[in-house]
Structure 1
Amino acid sequence: MPEVPEMEIYKNYLNQWVKGKEISELNILRAKSINLELSEFRAKVQGKRIKEIRRRGKYLIFDFEEGDFLLTHMMLDGRLFLLQLDSETLKKTDSPKAEDLQSVIMGSSAEELKNIVKDLPGRASVIFGLSGGLILFFCNLTLGYLHYLDQVHLDTKLQELGKDPLDPDFNSRDFSKLLKGKRGMIKPWLMNPKNISGVGNAYSNEALFSAGILPTRGVSTLDDAEKENLFDSLVRIIRDSIRLGGDMEEPFAAWDDFTGGYNPYFKVYDRTGKPCLVCGEDIQKSEVGGRNAFFCPHCQK
């Protein structure tokens, strides 16, 4: 599942390529991925210009110049893909003109698109035809979604979220206060979006390893130094992952060789049975709070 680093990278790419573009066409291939009737969603979105893309936790928020918003959550398998209708793209198709290819894409089914756009990172759910010869695909929104919201409903949705780990006004003292008096194990607490928004399985495992804390440790057993170390580890790892490309294997566009660059740097996540990079002990896996926990039994206490 994409977490803070992956969604931050998406946000940065979208602001680079999509910000300021008009949504000129829509192809909605999975009605369950949106929150309105098809005709109403189309009337609300088509013709709108994207003012900015923001991130909060694992959410992306598309701000429209005309007001109102699109809120998207990738959930487990959701992915974005940008197609540029340029000369390099056209060399790989039978369509002689960019406008012809866009028309074909905007009128195709999800099955047909598999053969038309070879690089798609999954089954297309919603497609935006954008001004300037760009097409943005929202893929695999089986559990994820793309919702049109006004300010009131957006605020209500975001109020459910805890602090974002990259919020400049959020620090280790605030983090320690959040943990005070809490019960349960630390890993599920970190992954609860009502506590900290945007932290999932991968980066909770990595932060706990870096801080030397077992994922099964009770929150109430952590001392002040451990809390501060855990917060600092979490923020540092998230920032490192953003800098290096995050964890997703699927690129944002055909030219994208940056996305996924952090994968070789994981120290415990998905490394069951491999030697700890610090002490050499085998990395172990167990189920904690319904999710896989990866840890070193020697380095974490």
Structure 2
Amino acid sequence: MPELPEVTTICRSLDRQLRGQVITGAASCGRLRVDVDSVSLQGFCAGKCISAVTRRAKYLLVVFTDRSGLILHLGMTGSFVITPDDGQARPYERAYFLLADGRRWRFCDIRCFGSLQLCPGDIQSCTHPALADLGLEPLTGDFNGSSLHRLSRNSRTPVKTWLMDQHNVVGVGNIYANEALFQAGINPATPVRRLGLQRCRRLAAAVKTILQAAIAAGGTTISDYRDVDGSEGHFRTALEVYGRAGEPCPRCGDSIERLLQGGRAAFFCPRCQPRR
């Protein structure tokens, strides 16, 4: 699933290509996890001008000049393609928007776990149900060692699982949680409430560092992720533990281990990230 760096990369690309564009038509084939019928989509979008494309958590917010907008989520395999309109649907095209300059903005999704929702009110107010209960944005000042420590005091949840819960912190998926915990020297199975303030500060700083580096690299392409222009993310070459079970730790040389937590794989070095 695209995580914060991938969604940020796509958000910036969409904003560059769509800002100021007027939508002349729209349609949906009705196969996304959360969808809108074509009549409603056309009626909502036709004639509206896009003022910006922004992000909240892993959601993309297409903001119209009247402050209404679209709330999009890529799910597991969603992607966007913008091309001259040839009148033909591409494979796995689940929705499309026609632009006044003759281009077609396509929402493609192989597995149909993506979502498309309408927001008739002020989309930036975050009162829409999809946005209402989300946690802290990790790249803002609100997320730091003190806030992480305060929010986690009553939780017995393993720290990696807690970090990936979108009600606590948004956008930190499996790849980046593993990498941040390695950088901070914290075992992923440690109950989060055992982290003292100093370790919380290390972890918050590591999360920010990892996410910022991944954004600079255009995200991480493992299988499906592509930017709007079709380019891959290049942070995969910088991964130190994710997907490297059995390989030597880049710091100490011990073998990286793998365990399952809630159906998700955790990768860690038992020497550099001792359980305590």
What is the TM-score of this pair, normalised by structure 2?
0.90
Q: Could you tell me which residue of structure 1 aligns to residue 131 of structure 2?
A: 158
Separation of aligned partners in 2, 1:104 and 1:127: 11
Q: 1:13 to 1:152 in 2, by over 3 A?
A: closer
**Structure 1 unaligned regions, length at least 5:** 86-101, 115-122
Specify which of 247, 251, 263 is matched with residue 226 of structure 2: 251
2:159 and 2:189 in contact (8 A); partners too: yes
Give 1:136's aligned amino acid. W
Q: Could you tell me which residue of structure 2 aligns to residue 138 of structure 1?
A: 107
Q: Could you tell me which residue of structure 1 aligns to residue 159 of structure 2?
A: 186
What is the TM-score of this pair, normalised by structure 1?
0.83
- Does 2:241 match 1:268? yes
Give 1:131's aligned amino acid. A
Shift of 1:287: 0.5
Q: Could you tell me which residue of structure 2 aligns to residue 285 of structure 1?
A: 258
- Does 2:74 match 1:104? no
1:82 and 1:252 in contact (8 A); partners too: no
Q: 1:127 to 1:170 in 2, by over 3 A?
A: same
Q: Could you tell me which residue of structure 2 aligns to residue 58 of structure 1?
A: 58
Q: Could you tell me which residue of structure 2 aligns to residue 201 of structure 1?
A: 174
Shift of 1:30: 3.2
Q: 1:253 to 1:59 in 2, by over 3 A?
A: closer
Q: Could you tell me which residue of structure 2 aligns to residue 97 of structure 1?
A: none
Give 2:99's aligned amino acid. L
User: 45-54 vs 144-153, which deviates more?
Assistant: 144-153
Shift of 1:253: 4.1
Q: Could you tell me which residue of structure 1 aligns to residue 187 of structure 2?
A: 214
3-state SS of paired residue (1:268):
coil
Q: Could you tell me which residue of structure 2 aligns to residue 21 of structure 1?
A: 21
3-state SS of paired residue (1:267):
coil
Separation of aligned partners in 2, 1:206 and 1:103: 43
% identity of equivalent residues = 31
Shift of 1:54: 1.1
Rg larger in 1 or in 2?
1
Shift of 1:33: 4.9
Separation of aligned partners in 2, 1:149 and 1:177: 33
Shift of 1:241: 0.5
Separation of aligned partners in 2, 1:295 and 1:273: 10
User: 18-27 vs 144-153, which deviates more?
Assistant: 144-153
Give 2:254's aligned amino acid. E
Q: Could you tell me which residue of structure 1 aligns to residue 269 of structure 2?
A: 296
**Structure 2 unaligned regions, length at least 5:** none
Shift of 1:103: 4.3
2:30 and 2:37 in contact (8 A); partners too: no
